């Protein structure tokens, strides 16, 4: 059998370029020069006898073979991490990276205390958080680019394990001086004359709202669309209009200016969950953080 001449550094270089789609950024991450990184990739491609990347002056993209190889290399590197982190006498010296994804509203509400405890317990492990839209969070977990996620989509996907952690209601967000701001709750028909701001149809939140309102005769006409909830709330704060948003998305720093009044008839809710891919063995450090999050949410934020 012919021996293929490559080493661990070549594989790490390959993964870095694949994740960054850039030789310059990957070289910076690995603390090596671009020429040195290019030599590692050339060496690996020569050893395998295939092209792993399509390179142009503007972009770097994986070939079809490169995409398959990336999955296998990640599995191999995770297996190596399992072996290293499983040695008890190295526990105090763990290094590596935990990568997970979450919808933006989850960052403030669920992560700070847990990440503080995790970083205290494992100071040499870097945590990489992708705060993205619900669909992007799901895609990152499915692609293996995130070990797990916090999301409100994925429960119906057969490849995803969805562990519910929190049920939240949608509220009507408005400026604190809006005439409806003192109401205890609002029916959807109470909002029909308001200037209504919505997230775009590509948003997971829009899908939840549209499904809930499909049989409702009176609900507001959309006067403005924007891609993300953060942008919606910025427009609400400026006085442009009102918007239906998840209650957790109105962060404390905004609560002096923006009020959220519960919506009823129908009441619209979404369930946030910890998501992971079936038959994907998380690296030990990722599993530890996953379990810390699960325990923290179960104690502090019970389902309701």
pLDDT category at 304 given cuts 50, 70, 90 is very low
pLDDT at position 6: 74
Per-residue pLDDT tens digits for 211-246: 888 878 777 888 999 988 989 999 999 999 999 999
Question: Which class for 57: exposed (0-12), middle (13-18), buried (19 or more C-beta within 10 A)?
Answer: exposed
pLDDT at position 90: 41
DSSP string, 85-148: HT-GGGGGG--EEEEEEE-HHHHHHHSHHHHHHHHHH-TTEEEEEEE--HHHHHHHHHTTSSSE
pLDDT at position 85: 58
Question: Above 80 in pLDDT, residue 94?
Answer: no
Question: Above 60 in pLDDT, residue 10?
Answer: yes
In the chain, how many H helices and how many E strands? 10, 12
Cα–Cα distance, 107 to 52 (Å, whole number): 35
Question: Which class for 93: exposed (0-12), middle (13-18), buried (19 or more C-beta within 10 A)?
Answer: exposed
Please state the rounded mean pLDDT for residues 272-290: 88
Per-residue pLDDT tens digits for 152-200: 988 899 999 999 988 999 999 999 999 999 999 999 999 999 999 999 8
| Phi and psi, residue 94, nearest 5° | -65, 140
pTM over 0.85: no
Per-residue pLDDT tens digits for 243-279: 999 998 998 777 789 999 999 989 999 999 999 998 8
- Beta bridge pairs of residue 226: 199
pLDDT at position 4: 56
User: In the chain, what are the domains?
Assistant: 8-63 (1.10.10.10), 72-150+283-300 (3.40.190), 166-271 (3.40.190.290)
pLDDT at position 299: 62
Per-residue pLDDT tens digits for 38-76: 999 999 998 888 999 998 877 889 999 989 999 988 888
Nearest to 276 by CA among 68, 137, 166, 168: 137
pLDDT category at 302 given cuts 50, 70, 90 is very low
Query: What dihedral angle (degrees, nearest 10) is formed by the CA atoms of 145, 146, 151, 155?
Result: 70
């Amino acid at each position: 059998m012919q021996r293929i001449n490559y080493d661990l550094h070549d594989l790490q270089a390959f993964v870095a370029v694949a994740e960054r789609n850039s030789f310059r950024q990957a070289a910076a991450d690995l603390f090596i020069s671009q020429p040195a990184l290019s030599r590692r990739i050339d060496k690996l491609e020569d050893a395998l006898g295939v092209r792993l990347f399509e390179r142009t002056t503007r972009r770097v993209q994986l070939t079809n073979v490169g995409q398959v190889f990336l999955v296998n290399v990640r599995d191999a590197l995770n297996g190596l991490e399992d072996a290293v982190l499983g040695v008890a006498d190295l526990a105090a010296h763990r290094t590596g990276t935990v990568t997970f994804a979450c919808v933006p509203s989850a960052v403030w509400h669920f992560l700070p205390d847990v990440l503080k405890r995790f970083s205290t317990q494992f100071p040499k492990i870097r945590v990489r958080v992708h705060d993205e839209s619900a669909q992007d969070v799901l895609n990152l977990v499915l692609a293996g680019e995130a070990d797990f996620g916090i999301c409100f989509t994925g429960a119906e996907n057969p490849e995803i394990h969805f562990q519910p952690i929190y049920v939240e209601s949608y509220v009507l967000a408005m400026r604190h001086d809006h005439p409806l701001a003192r109401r205890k709750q609002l029916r959807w028909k109470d909002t029909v004359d308001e200037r209504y701001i919505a997230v775009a149809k590509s948003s997971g939140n829009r899908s939840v709202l549209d499904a809930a309102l499909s049989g409702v005769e009176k609900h507001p006409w959309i006067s403005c669309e924007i891609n993300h909830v953060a942008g919606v709330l910025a427009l609400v704060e400026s006085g442009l209009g009102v918007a239906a948003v998840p209650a957790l998305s109105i962060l404390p720093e905004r609560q002096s200016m923006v009020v959220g009044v519960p919506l009823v008839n129908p009441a619209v809710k979404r369930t946030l969950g910890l998501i992971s891919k079936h038959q994907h063995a998380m690296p030990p450090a990722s599993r530890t953080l996953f379990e810390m999050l699960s325990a923290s949410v179960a104690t502090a934020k019970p389902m309701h």
